[in-house]
Amino acid sequence: MKRFRKLIGSALWKLLLVVLIVSSCQSQKKVMMLQDKASGAPKTSFVNKKKTTYQVQSGDHLYIRIYSTDPKTSKFFQTDLPTLMNPTYLYLNSYMIDEEGYINFSFVDRMFVKGMTLEEVKKKLQKTLNEYFNETTVIIKLVNFQISILGEVSSPGNFNIDKDQVNLFQALALAGGPKEFGNINKVALVRQTLNGSEIYYFDLSDKNILESDYFYLVPNDIIYVEPRKSKSYLVTSFSYGSALGLLSIAITIGYLFTTIKR
């Protein structure tokens, strides 16, 4: 009987140990972002030129607004009228880049813009307008700035960006951030290029990500936070209900044997 009680006690402690291991939180090192990976003094200053490299493509919608100090020019481009700066207004008053890569803007001849950045499109249009008007200012905004966030985040989905720039952490915040079992050490970014798509990987726990050329996102970027291997094991290989049930039985048996001994 004494030996049997020892076996029960040993099994009880082993079961308690297993439950504690599998139900414990992830190591802080695995879930904490922006850590100092390099040795030495902590780095607190990071340089990033915040330059977008997105090149407009066929099907993109560009909102174009012309401002001028000259009342006649302003009236010609209707910039003297009130503007409702909401997504619907921007879309309805945008100019779509056709399949051949051209836009048709006001009296300007068809202008080829495919493969150009927004800044390059702005300069090209500004140069054309300067031939006909004085003191004009061109404002261009990409209307269809959308990103997708998938995987181990709280609220995956498609998100419309209403700003000119958005970085990786701001994007993840829109999706509620990575979940407990999200692998922040290997976050994938799928980016469309003129020749197809490319995949980049980030380690969100490393502060140096702030200096990455891909830290700022561009339209149609896809972010994927993959699950840690530990989640797959826990979900497919471990039954919490069974473990808790066995633990309850073991505690009851141990209590009964202790009572009998007394």
**What is the reported pLDDT for 237?**
47
Taking 60 as the threshold, does the pLDDT of residue 53 lie above it?
yes
User: What is the 8-class DSSP label of residue 10?
Assistant: H
**What is the reported pLDDT for 114?**
93
Of residues 16, 89, 97, the one with CA closest to residue 60: 97
The second-level CATH assignment, the architecture, of 61-142 is 2-Layer Sandwich (3.30)
Q: Tokens standing for 132?
A: 């006909």
Give percent of the chain with pLDDT exceeding 70.
65
**What is the reported pLDDT for 135?**
83
Q: Which of 43-57, 114-128, 160-174 has the lowest mean pLDDT?
A: 43-57
Q: Which of 73-77, 182-186, 238-242 has the lowest mean pLDDT?
A: 238-242
For residue 194, give the amino acid letter.
Answer: L
CA 96 to chain centre: 26
Give me the chain's average pLDDT, please: 77
Give the whole-angstrom CA distance, residue 210 versus residue 204. Answer: 9
Find the distance separating the first CA and the last CA of the chain, reported in whole Å.
Answer: 13
**What is the rounded average pLDDT of the residues 38-63?**
72
**What is the reported pLDDT for 24?**
47
Give the whole-angstrom CA distance, residue 93 versus residue 62. Answer: 9
Q: What is the pLDDT of residues 187-223, one digit of tens each?
A: 999 998 778 889 999 999 888 888 888 899 989 999 9
CATH code: domain 28-39+145-227 is 3.10.560.10
Taking 60 as the threshold, does the pLDDT of residue 51 lie above it?
yes
Q: How confident is the model at residue 122 (pLDDT cuts 50, 70, 90)?
A: very high
The pTM score is 0.64
